[in-house]
Amino acid sequence: DTGVSQDPRHKITKRGQNVTFRCDPISEHNRLYWYRQTLGQGPEFLTYFQNEAQLEKSRLLSDRFSAERPKGSFSTLEIQRTEQGDSAMYLCASSLDSTVEFFGPGTRLTVL
């Protein structure tokens, strides 16, 4: 257990529905990251927060995706109007400045 927690661990939804995932990073970590991982592939960077500021968003993050970290602690990732191609493992990681990123267990999303 790295100390990064994610909720829910699994989510099954129907195409067109909205879903929201939560990440609680290690408490003193100021940086928080979201990655997406599809079967057999390495994680792909989605977005990055330093404290409450979202500093970079990947081209992978379409307009249907939004992430927030309102108080610089936990973060949420929302996907609107889900598509089958959104099915993946969504991973959250945190770090203290430029040190090692520690990953949470992930939220596995299945879009039917």
Binding site for another protein (CB under 8 A): 2, 4, 31, 33, 35, 40-45, 48, 56, 91, 93, 95, 98, 100-106
Q: How far is the CB of 21 from another protein (least distance, A)?
A: 13
Residue 34's alpha-carbon distances to 47, 72, 104, in angstroms, are: 5, 14, 10
Q: Given the DSSP bridges, would you call strands 44-50 and 31-37 parallel, antiparallel or unpaired?
A: antiparallel
Cβ distance to another protein smaller for residue 80 or 102: 102
Cis peptide before 105 (omega within 30 of 0): no
Comparison of 79 and 106: residue with beta carbon closer to another protein: 106
CB of 16 to another protein, least distance (A): 27
What minimum distance in Å lies between the beta carbon of 23 and another protein?
A: 11
Side chain identity at residue 58, one-letter code? S
Nearest Cα neighbor of 93 from 35, 38, 46 is 35
Smaller CB separation from another protein, 77 or 91: 91
